[in-house]
Amino acid sequence: MGKSQINKDILRRSIIGLASLFGVGFLPILGGTVASLVAILFFLLLDSFSFFFFFVGILIISFPLSSEAERIFKEKDSPKIVIDDFCGMLLSLLFLPKKSLFVFLAFILFRVFDFLKVPPANYIERKEGGRGVVGDDLIAGFYTNLLLHSLRFILKISS
């Protein structure tokens, strides 16, 4: 095996590893749900400043990674690709207080919005490549985050 082929194999494995969240996407069921739970772990471990930049970094890489992973798996929005669920859940939690009620509600609401594909998520999901794979989860994350921040404002809940 030549050096070029080795480099291509390393790149391919890296794309698969990241897009599947290091194998979470290969679980026989509930890969997206487990990826969402992993996002909660990062939320709880990182301070707000670090979490924001972590989210931005994941957001930036998730689009090209998802596009390449679709090409590798030869399947549109493959269930093996869970970086989209991870990224959407990160957005759901952005700037929320680290209180169990908010974490629980964010998880439940994100999974519900992701499942229901509330417009425009249903439209965005049909887009090609990473835009379609990640876009619908970002909409679900945005709706979740907006709803929970509105709840915070209405109920006057501080961090």
Q: What type of residue is 81?
A: I
pTM: 0.95
Would you state the pLDDT for residue 157?
A: 84
Which residues, including other chains, have CB under 8 Å from residue 32's CB and lie 6 or more apart? 79, 82, 84, 85, 111, 114
Would you state the pLDDT for residue 1?
A: 63
Would you state the pLDDT for residue 65?
A: 98
User: How many C-beta atoms surround the C-beta of residue 124 within 10 A?
Assistant: 18
Structural domain spans, the chain:
3-155
Would you state the pLDDT for residue 3?
A: 77
Q: Terminus-to-terminus CA distance in the chain, angstroms?
A: 55
**DSSP letter string, 69-119:** HHHHHTSTT-TT--HHHHHHHHHHHTT----HHHHHHHHHHHHHHHHHTTT
pLDDT along the chain (159 residues), means of 10: 84 98 98 99 98 99 98 96 99 97 98 97 95 98 98 88
Element (H, E) at 128: none
Would you state the pLDDT for residue 159?
A: 72
